[in-house]
Structure 1
């Protein structure tokens, strides 16, 4: 009999934390699952493989696979190719999930056949004082509970915590799996699916602990560096602007600093023209980097007279820009987007 949910779990040199992830899956209230754990060419002397085989001897729902190529995108696609479930659930080897996680997420997908992928709120499994950036990211992700919010915010960062996701297997086949490249595979997946009009949902319950170990890929792999994000996002954002910006190819850019201009330059390389930069720093206002004038925020276009893209990324800056633009009558998605 085919399981309802197939869990895709890549593991590479994961012996320090893999047992906790596997135990949390074995303890799920939804028993109708299979766990496809992929040893992604670990070089830890067989420790990861031994853990998988030991757990499989206790829980016959676990199948230990060996990825044919190194890399998380290949490992996930390899697991998906072996999956038999109606739904595909993501899980990382360093995270743990609430016992009702898969039950509640599968129930949402069963109830709402138009939804392609369902996430949940996540707990930050790290030190918020030592890693405030991750803690803020978790808070932001948890604030996006509707498809509309996740769609509008997708150009800032991945709007759904990847290891919390449960997909329809049919949607995964229709919209495409993971792509390997110089970019974060999870964010690229959400951008590609949303561009294809996929529908996302998120359970309001906190059902997964998203841990933040020092060796996490997003800390160590250059594919997750900020510039890799912005280069990859620019392709999708440029196409979105071409379809949705009534003033295309012209936009106004919030932020005139060197970092902001470098990130916005990815858009210019894709044919988007900058009418002006908007800033509040008196030292920048009046300058013309690359021939583009730097104006004060108060000189932003009125609603209907220009489209604004914000690239500022300091903590709280995007929210401040949104409040400023909304006070002028701008609406997100219609008159502006946050992309920082």
Structure 2
């Protein structure tokens, strides 16, 4: 579906290919390649039902048929350009910035974010080149005045990105070769299907809207709208009596909940940026990707309604991996070498 090039080592898209991408994407009803909620025992939009059972177990290789479809993966060093849409506190930005910076922080205390990223790096393209080790912060753009309103559709998300890369002052750089554009919406912004179906998704921009084909991910702060859905396990649904939330490692339920979704989206952008690389299932417009396969699993024994074995700090906050200075809770991803979900905090390593 996403033939062409906007990442890795490929040149900019030609006009015919860009037109093809745009038309085909519109025919697919603008469906992002992933739409994810961290709450256990649900299915990603369009996922093949056969994978529902596989998510209950770390070693579910009998049911998982993850395949490589010969498309590119992100082998070039990744630069994450962030768009802060809405109202964000400085402390919230610092948490997210450190998480992204921790991807390449190899000296972090184990189990670390960088070790978690090693599983993603196991994936290769058809030349045998691995996904890059380097994930760094790039330029940022603040849209604190809600230039496109407080209610966004999936198409208007692309318009927000266009505004950021075409701004009269300090536009984000156009980096079609190794840039990744991360749009983060604050807690007072509603996005189409947010909470009901998605907490985040990734896709690519249409040349007809943005002028370029750029990989992007959107993640929303669910603190005011649905923390029990998108900030689980730091918040729990009201309809489940007796279930107590865990204490967030950085003291911000909404942002700590976003961290795992951000990791989920970046991992899948790296391994399936054009929806023609690594995924399971028969339909590339609804792929089951490497993080989808491990929803709700954060530690050994995880699956179903159980997160798995986690760690508590001295203040009772729960986490599973270390960043440069902070601690985070991030879901595991599928390891195609051993055919089960893995993470650096696994007890059997």
Q: Please give the range of the TM-score, normalised by the shorter of the 2 chains.
A: under 0.3
Rg larger in 1 or in 2?
A: 1
TM-score scaled by length of structure 2 = 0.25
More helix by share: 1
TM-score scaled by length of structure 1 = 0.25
